[in-house]
Chain A
Amino acid sequence: MSGGPVTAADVDDFVLGAKLLSGGGASHGTMPARWLRHAMATRGDVRLVPPGSLPESAQCLAIGFIGSPTIQSEKLPMVGQFAEAVRVAERRLGHEVGALAALNAAGVNALAPLLAATELGLPVADADGMGRIFPNVERSVFTLAGLDVGPCTLAGAQGDVMIIEPAGNMRAEALIRPATVALGGWCVAVLYPMSAGLLARHGIHGSVSRVLDVGRTLRRAAASDEPRGHRLAAGLGGRLLASGIVAEVHRPSRRGFPSGAVIVTDLDDPDRSVRLETQNEYMLALADGVPLAAVPDLICTVDHDTGEPVDIERLHYGHVVDVITLPAAPAWHTAAGLALAGPETFGYALPRDQGDR
């Protein structure tokens, strides 16, 4: 659905879609949504354009947030924080930026390029580097394509800006995290500078508009009386793994493997249950010991009655949920993709012949 403007009226749907696409990750309160609505109300709509429609040589940057959303809700953003980051990046790169892309169009990060666009008046390219939430910046299709993550420009909420030039994408996290703490616990991050041509070739197309589509689908499903489950999953382009009641919730224990587990018992067949392994997001879904879905594919839970996405922290016994899986971008299902972001990289050593169901 690229090409149309994203307006203040779309903010609620956009935020809803971003929440679903966070795959169970923590929700971030209402601040980012209010920020975006305020920004659009004061500075206008955002243009969303297909990457292919940009001139090949136009320069793009991927934009996201790094750090704690909880802290972000206290140390609120500075006006012009995105503009500051982009301008410093332009100075370093020696050229102006023509369009903004999303680092990852999921969770609160999905709002970042839109917010930046309101400050800079630039279009947002309808593409992103991950297609879902990953905890590290190097886990992107750009890395798979051999593109550099740096120079990374980080702007804190009180005007500090840092440029980090890691020696290789795998070094980025180690440098960015302490910088984020120094900047006050969260920052705007501008990364992966590339031409629009490279973005069009390697980026995941349609990611940003997908957030809006998903949000609209969820809203319609919630408003209607139709049964959720399969139809919702199909409408989202995914598969329903189960509609059931949360029967067990195990938070990760401090010692040992930091994976929690959630058991969902099928509504219609109490003998059947689905086991969801969790870290910050859902990582793995099993039924009867057979893996049904695993990272990099997205797994999410939607409240069966209200149609709201439910994050892992808010799940509780007796919650009736639809467990839905959405396929990851095809680039993640290559050998290189799995080596960067497959289940094994998160600590789930699935047997080889089943790791890619």
Chain B
Amino acid sequence: MTRLTVRELPYLKALTGARIVAGQAGADAAVREARLIDHLDRLADTPAGCALLLTTDLTGWAVEMALRLAWERAAACVIAHEDQEVLDATHRLADRLRMPLLLAGLDDPVSTAIALGMAATAPRERRAATLVDLAERLAALPQKPRSVLGLLNSRLPGTAVCLLTADGTLLAGRSAASAHGADVRDTVPARHTVAEGQLVVHPVIGSDGGVEMRLVASLSGAADAWADTVATALGLAAGPITAWAAVERLRAERDARLRGTLLTELLSGTDATSDQIASQVARLGWRLEGWHTGIYLSLADPTDQETLVARTPALTAALAAVRLRGVVVERTDGWSVWVDHLEKPSPRTEGRMADRLRALLAERPAGLALSGGIGPPGEGPSGLRTSLASAREAAVLATAAGPGHLERADDLGMRRLLLTPFGSEDFRSLADRLLAPLREPRNRPLYDALRQYLDQMCSASATAAALGVHRNTVATRVARACTLLGVDLDRPDERLAVHLACHAVGPPVS
């Protein structure tokens, strides 16, 4: 069984605020009992291993004599009142004798001596008492990190405790203890020796079995016995922390479900919103009036709802960081986001928002591989609906291009066709509309040339042969057709869209 050492004395409640000012070399000596010394005569018969408390009238020269007599009697240490002025010479004597000299607030030396004596004779009982006290108080606390950490920091003297996220960010407790946080990677309870003393680590495991948070305590000095106590204390605190984390998670998920359900109802509804929906919207703080810009962010690798929900706060923060503050709602494969405006945003504002979002997506916000679509601004609940729907469509195309891409609904142009099912009425009418500039009779040759060119797999010579014209004529007519339509045949999705449109409106006139 390990004995109480001089080094641990400053951690005792009875000696709170005490410091070892000299003779540190002897601080690992064991303390067997404590004696109150009010006259140097009393030192004549002190047993070995005694902690000697000097009353306030023993000052200056008497402290030096006490150090000497303590050394002769193999005492553990000398404790004097902290108001003492300790001369350099006294420091040096204590260092030379390797006799620890402590200064403490000895306002009630008798009680201190008794408490010290009890701690010395029964270290295990003392530690048990500390832990029982801690456990009782934990049970009475609200299960919040701040309360738990506050309790640990006040009941574990000489120790600074903090709660860190898995990657080392401080969640609660003393920042002094988090200095090494980024380096701590333990997945099981562990201890480390560092420059300032020791670190005691207790990981908090999440529902997925991985480390979600860590409790880290920083101790100065190297007393093993105290580190044991601290480790047990952290273990006791881990329970309430884990419970708190689980409750927080459930709450987040529930909130997410609520948001998702509400949004679905809004998107599918009509212009008139029911009273029930209106009150739910109000409670969540959503604003349906005014202008909105809808955004859809889809995950490259779809994942489960739980993970999605867990990522929402970080994603919201990332969006806010680029001044895209708005409502973020989880969907099946990503998030719907909308930003409110007081008045209709100018094209420049729209453009800048899109630029910021594009830049953000390229950087993998919150560690997510996302592609996105951004719709045109819309007014009121119906405008919100339209904008979100356009954004969703645009996101489809962006996803096809790969993570980190952003498509603006307004920029889709011909590629909007790719979102509409081929052969449907919508497709036909959309294709008609998009090809309208070429449908005028005088542009017929241009249309034919374009159609033939696409059918001939973009071979100018084959097209020339099929139409019976010169190659150059083909090139000129195709170019003119593209200009009229505003398409770029070098882009595969635009080429495809034009081709499909042509087929939808009917065969070429040969």
Contacts and interface: CB of A to CB of B under 8 A. Distances in A.
Interface stretch (A4-12, A63-71, A254-262): A254-262
A289 B87 contact: no
A350 B40 contact: yes
B38 to A, nearest CB: 9
Given A273-B92, A288-B93, A290-B68, A349 B62 contact: yes
A351 B60 CA distance: 15
A90 interface: no
B87 A248 contact: yes
Nearest to B67: A289
Contacts of A290: 65, 68
29 contacts: A247-B88, A247-B89, A248-B89, A256-B59, A257-B57, A257-B59, A261-B60, A263-B89, A271-B96, A273-B92, A277-B60, A284-B61, A286-B64, A286-B65, A288-B93, A288-B96, A288-B97, A289-B65, A289-B66, A289-B68, A289-B97, A348-B61, A349-B39, A349-B41, A350-B40, A351-B39, A351-B41, A351-B44, A352-B41
B61 A277 contact: yes
Nearest to A263: B89
A284 B87 CA distance: 16
B388 interface: no
Contact-size category for B: 20 to 34
B51 interface: no
A354 B67 CA distance: 15
B288 interface: no
A269 interface: no
A259 B60 contact: yes
Q: Which of B41, B66, B67, B88 has the most CB of A within 10 A?
A: B41
Interface string B94-124: 0011000000000000000000000000000
A243 to B, nearest CB: 17
A75 interface: no
Contacts of A250: 85, 87
Contacts of A261: 60-61, 87
B423 to A, nearest CB: 103
A132 to B, nearest CB: 20
Interface in B10-55: 39-41, 43-44
B60 A263 contact: no
A354 to B, nearest CB: 8
A288 B97 CA distance: 9
Given A288-B96, A351-B40, A351-B44, 16 more contacts: A247-B89, A250-B85, A250-B87, A261-B87, A271-B96, A273-B89, A275-B64, A275-B87, A275-B89, A284-B61, A289-B64, A289-B66, A289-B69, A289-B97, A349-B39, A351-B41
A44 interface: no
Interface in A282-319: 284, 286, 288-291
A253 B65 CA distance: 21
A190 to B, nearest CB: 37
A263 B61 CA distance: 11
B100 to A, nearest CB: 15
A353 interface: yes
Contacts of A257: 57, 59-60
Nearest to B42: A351
Nearest to B87: A248
A314 to B, nearest CB: 20
Nearest to A277: B61
B281 to A, nearest CB: 72
Given A248-B88, A261-B87, A351-B43, A288 B59 contact: no
A182 B44 CA distance: 49
A105 B379 CA distance: 112
A277 B67 CA distance: 17
A349 B40 contact: yes
Interface in A221-261: 247-248, 250, 253, 256-257, 259, 261
A319 to B, nearest CB: 16
Contacts of B92: 271, 273
Chain A to chain B: the 4 pairs with minimum beta-carbon distance, closest first: A289-B68, A351-B40, A289-B64, A263-B89
Q: Which of B40, B71, B92 has the most CB of A within 10 A?
A: B40
B228 to A, nearest CB: 36
Q: Which of B59, B66, B87 has the most CB of A within 10 A?
A: B87
A288 B68 contact: yes
A263 B90 CA distance: 10
A351 B69 contact: yes
Nearest to B38: A349
A353 B64 contact: no
Contacts of A253: 85
B60 A291 contact: no
A348 B68 CA distance: 16
B23 to A, nearest CB: 12
Contact of A286 (B44, B61, B71): B61
A263 B86 CA distance: 12
Contacts of A247: 88-89
Nearest to A259: B60
A284 B61 CA distance: 9
A248 B64 CA distance: 15
A273 B87 CA distance: 12
Contacts of A352: 41
A261 B96 CA distance: 20
Nearest to B58: A349
Interface in A343-357: 348-354
Contacts of B71: 289
Nearest to B66: A289
A131 B375 CA distance: 109
A45 B457 CA distance: 144
Interface string B146-190: 000000000000000000000000000000000000000000000
Contacts of A350: 40, 65
B65 A353 contact: no
A291 B97 CA distance: 16
B139 to A, nearest CB: 48
Contacts of A248: 87-89
Contacts of B57: 257
Contacts of A263: 87-89
Nearest to A270: B92
A149 B413 CA distance: 125
Contacts of B59: 256-257
Contacts of A349: 39-41, 62
A181 to B, nearest CB: 31
Interface string A319-357: 000000000000000000000000000001111111000
Interface string A195-212: 000000000000000000
Q: Which of B44, B65, B68 has the most CB of A within 10 A?
A: B65
A257 B57 CA distance: 8
Interface in B395-439: none
A159 B66 CA distance: 53
A275 B87 CA distance: 10
B162 to A, nearest CB: 42
A351 B89 contact: no
A277 B93 CA distance: 16
B93 A353 contact: no
A250 B39 CA distance: 24
Nearest to B61: A277
A271 B65 CA distance: 17
Contacts of B65: 286, 289-291, 350-351, 354
Contacts of A351: 39-41, 43-44, 65, 69
Contacts of B93: 288-289
B57 to A, nearest CB: 8
Nearest to A291: B65
Interface in A57-110: none
Contacts of A289: 64-69, 71, 93, 97
